[in-house]
Homo-oligomer: A and B are copies of this chain.
């Protein structure tokens, strides 16, 4: 639940919002779907009532029937190892598709749980697929989205594989910020809907480490933390801390390539 830049009130009443009117359409299906086709897509989509915080959208091993698109709120997906402890695999914001990993085997390898009150579009996969055979551009979009997912997962592997705790948390915050931007929310202020423990788990860190880093970042003037609320004060420098080209994001394109050594410009 980031702070809204524009007031886009989502009434809990009008569950029935057509895809063509949905403000998330360009995130959901970035390009290539015509208006008339959009109506056909809309016709197969089911919009359920909002999921309260803590409820599961699906659990591990549930049979795969539908893909889900987040309309508002947020969720986490997680696996559990045999000894019962969970591994958070991702956080999912409005406009994102969940369940792509279930297509292959016919059941969900992960569980999805609402981190706050969350509304969802339910997309029966069978219908989507047969609609896809009629609409090549939809089919193409689907492949693109899955490809993007793979790319994102690879990015996460880099973070888990070779970044320090500091770099991980910085990357995480920048990444969140970037995703909020795309959704029209503020890049510099947002609320974390997940706990420190979830963040730590997701980043492969202990929750204490996450907490310590937040205070460290705050002391260094990079951001301000108040409980769940985060304000990025020096996004620039946080990027440097994350040890990555923070490509997309705030419109600041001083063409500053050619200086890959961070060169402590702090």
Minimal Cβ-Cβ distance residue in B for A161: B204
Q: Residue on B with the closest CB to A103?
A: B147
Q: Using Cβ atoms and an 8 Å threshold, which residues of chain B touch A142?
A: 143
How many of chain A's residues have a CB under 8 angstroms from any CB in B? Answer: 51
Copy tally for this chain in the complex stands at 2
Give the interface segment out of A1-9, A81-89, A179-187.
Answer: A81-89
In A74-132, the 8 Å CB interface with B consists of: 79, 81-83, 85, 87, 89, 100-105, 109-110, 129-130, 132
**Chain B residues whose CB sits within 8 angstroms of the CB of A154 once the complex forms:** 79, 89, 101, 109-110, 153
Known: A157-B156, A204-B162. A244 touches B151 (CB 8 A): no
A26-64 interface with B by 8 A CB criterion: none
A27 nearest CB across to chain B (Å)? 13
Expressed in whole angstroms, the Cα–Cα distance for A211 and B113 within the complex equals 40
Q: Is the CB of A204 within 8 A of B160?
A: yes
A139, A146, A261: residue with the most chain B Cβ atoms closer than 10 Å: A146
A221 an interface residue at 8 Å Cβ cutoff?
no
- Assess the B133–A129 pair: CB atoms within 8 A: no
Is A208 in the interface zone, CB < 8 Å from B? no
CB pair B257–A83 under 8 Å, yes or no, is yes
| A153 in contact with B157 (CB, 8 Å) | yes
- Answer whether A150 and B100 are a contact pair too, CB < 8 Å, given A79-B158, A160-B204: yes
Residues of B within 8 A of A228 (CB): none
> Is residue A260 contacting chain B, with contact meaning CB distance below 8 A?
yes
A93 to B42, alpha carbons, bound, how many Å? 41
A109-B154, A154-B89 given as contacts; is B245 within 8 A of A82 (CB)?
yes
Chain B residues contacting A146 (CB-CB under 8 Å) are 100, 103, 143, 146-147, 150
CA distance A102 to B148 in the complex (A): 8
A151 pairs with B109, CB closer than 8 A = yes
4 nearest A-B pairs in the assembled complex, by CB-CB distance: A103-B147, A153-B153, A160-B160, A104-B147
Chain A interfacial positions (CB closer than 8 Å to B): 79, 81-83, 85, 87, 89, 100-105, 109-110, 129-130, 132-133, 136, 139-140, 142-151, 153-154, 156-158, 160-162, 201-204, 243-245, 257-258, 260-261
